[in-house]
Amino acid sequence: MLLAEYRNKNLSRCFPRLGLASLLLCLISGAILSFHYRPMGNVFQNVEEITSVVPYGRFFRQLHYASGQLFVILMSLHTLDHFLRRRYRTFGPRQWSLLIISLALCFLALFTGFILKGDKEGLFAARIFMNILRTVPLVGNRLSNFFILPGDSLFFLPYLYHCIFLPPLIFYLLNAHTREWLPDASFLLVTTVGLFLFAIFIDPWMDIPPDAIVGLVKGPWFFLGIQCLLRFLPPFYAGLLVPGMVVLCIFLLPVAGKRLGKCLHYSILGVLILYALLTLKEFLFGP
Amino acid sequence: MQAKRVRINQDKGKKCMDRRAFLRNNLFRVLCSIGAAVLSYPILAFLTFRKPRDKRVIFHLLKDPQPILYKEGVFLVPIGRSHRALSARCTHLGCTLNYDPVSLKFRCPCHGSQFDISGKRIAGPAKRDLQVLPIDKKGKGELVVTLKL
């Protein structure tokens, strides 16, 4: 009942505006970082040099990391807010689908960014993603080659997606939905101050060298639930089929009838809560 | 009677025009779709091509008996006087395995699969044993292991 009565209009107004402000900072800091980032050769060493040798490199890396994370978290909360208030009924199925696709692409951008760190976590995430894609029947190998190539150029395609393909595609998909691309001055100020303070005072998490031996390697926070599922289910089911079914159900929300819609709504809500619990379990206790 | 015949002819003509207009309007779209479908194959083939590559990992052995060695994705396991080379890639989803000298097992840090020192799967989500790699013996205690990427 609490969820059904969820009516916090102020927060609903804040999420997208703060999100746009963080997107702006994310793009600026990303463009600055790209002057020194090289996706070939020893990527880990390159990232460490950016962080520790290049002037203000640590600041821009942290700013890019925090603004990207904040943008995707706020977009997820914005979508969740619409979902809880059943606003998907007011969207047409096409517009709703495009918005869900754009949110999925935001997560893909975050994931490619995680890979581009070039450390052990990024390297393993790339390999796991590649091997999960290979489990798709018939087209698996071709599909994985479309996103990641093994060997020396492992980071090249994620780099292309992260810097060149995904940002304009996300802009294009969000364009019909966004009233004004430039956020209000007050939101921009609050976001800038908050993210700058984070970038100045919070050190980057310790990057694990690719050849270091560690007992446990974790994926990005939003895939921890899938990492947990991968221990029990075959990769195709845990990595593609189950998440794909959930996304398909979300797509169907605006076109489902009243009864089916209600059923879908509560099923998705249940799956989201379960996924949050799985993520928390994986984060706190690991394997 | 005549008026009825005229109406039927008009209807026929309208249907004919509708069909023609439909064909004319959609012919371009259909041709474009066929063209895009024909073009998409070479584009996809180009984008998803990967040249098969081998990587050679060279181990320099000393005369003394050695423990299990690791280098660039390969474990070299001594078996009596000879050696066995095992790929260090977990057969589940490709993470690099760690060797645990206490339990004499290879463990995956990502999803917890375990393998014994012969490469046989013991536990976890991996379904296959570790890949055994070909070894070439060169002079002066050099072993060359070929790893397919």
Phi-psi region of B20 (alpha: psi -120 to 50; beta: other; left: phi over 0): alpha
Contact A131 B110 (CB under 8 A): no
Question: Which residue on chain A is closest to B99 by alpha carbon?
Answer: A213
User: Quick check: B25 contacting A, CB < 8 Å?
Assistant: no
What is the rounded CA–CA span in Å between residue A31 and residue A37? 10
Q: Name residues of chain B where pLDDT drops below 70.
A: 1-17, 63-65
Exposed (0-12), middle (13-18) or buried (19+): which is B59, by Cβ within 10 Å? Answer: buried
What is the rounded CA–CA span in Å between residue A110 and residue A97? 20
Task: Please give the span between the terminal C-alpha atoms of chain B, in angstroms, as a whole number.
Answer: 82
Rg, chain A, Cα only: 20
Instruction: Tell me the torsion sign for CA atoms B108, B112, B115, B117.
Output: positive
Task: Count CA atoms within 13 Å of residue A46 on its CB side.
Answer: 15
Which pLDDT score is estimated for B11? 60
Best A42, A156, A217, A240 residue to mutate vs chain B (most B CBs within 10 Å): A217
Residues from chain A that touch B87, judged by Cβ atoms under 8 A, are none
Structural contact between residues A185 and A23, judged by C-beta atoms closer than 8 angstroms:
no
Enter the tokens of residue A166: 């995904």
Look at the block and give the residue holding tokens 């999420």: A15
User: Quick check: B95 contacting A, CB < 8 Å?
Assistant: yes
pLDDT by residue for chain A (287 residues), tens digit each? 344 444 555 778 889 899 999 999 999 999 999 999 999 989 999 999 999 988 889 999 999 999 999 999 999 999 999 999 888 888 888 889 999 999 999 999 999 999 999 999 999 999 999 999 999 998 998 899 999 988 888 999 999 999 999 999 999 999 888 877 777 788 889 999 999 999 999 988 888 898 888 888 889 999 999 999 999 899 999 999 999 999 999 999 998 888 898 999 999 999 999 999 999 998 888 76
Share of chain A above pLDDT 70, in %: 97
User: Quick check: B30 contacting A, CB < 8 Å?
Assistant: no
Contact A215 B50 (CB under 8 A): no
Contact A215 B98 (CB under 8 A): yes
Contact B48 A143 (CB under 8 A): yes
Q: Residue B91 has what DSSP assignment?
A: T
Structural contact between residues B74 and B86, judged by C-beta atoms closer than 8 angstroms:
yes
Contact A231 B125 (CB under 8 A): yes
Contact B112 A231 (CB under 8 A): yes
Which pLDDT score is estimated for A2? 40
User: Which residues is B136 bridged to in the sheet?
Assistant: B144
What is the rounded CA–CA span in Å between residue A53 and residue A51? 6
What is the rounded CA–CA span in Å between residue A145 and residue B100? 33
Alpha-carbon separation of residue B17 from A39, B5, B76 (angstroms): 59, 18, 77
Task: Count CA atoms within 13 Å of residue B21 on its CB side.
Answer: 6
Closest by alpha carbon to B50, among A156, A164, A146? Answer: A146
Q: Which amino acid is at A155?
A: F
What is the rounded CA–CA span in Å between residue A227 and residue A229? 6
Structural contact between residues B97 and B106, judged by C-beta atoms closer than 8 angstroms:
yes
> Domain B54-148 class?
mainly beta
Contact B93 A213 (CB under 8 A): no
Question: Which residue on chain A is closest to B100 by alpha carbon?
Answer: A215
Best B40, B44, B48, B89 residue to mutate vs chain A (most A CBs within 10 Å): B48
Contact B48 A145 (CB under 8 A): yes
Domain ranges of chain B: 6-47, 54-148
Task: Count CA atoms within 13 Å of residue A261 on its CB side.
Answer: 12
Which pLDDT score is estimated for A74? 95
Residues from chain B that touch A150, judged by Cβ atoms under 8 A, are 50, 149
**A40-91 residue pLDDT tens:** 989 999 999 999 988 889 999 999 999 999 999 999 999 999 999 888 888 8
Contact A217 B92 (CB under 8 A): no
Instruction: Tell me the torsion sign for CA atoms A105, A110, A116, A119.
Output: negative
Q: Chain B: nearest CA to A217, how far in angstroms?
A: 5
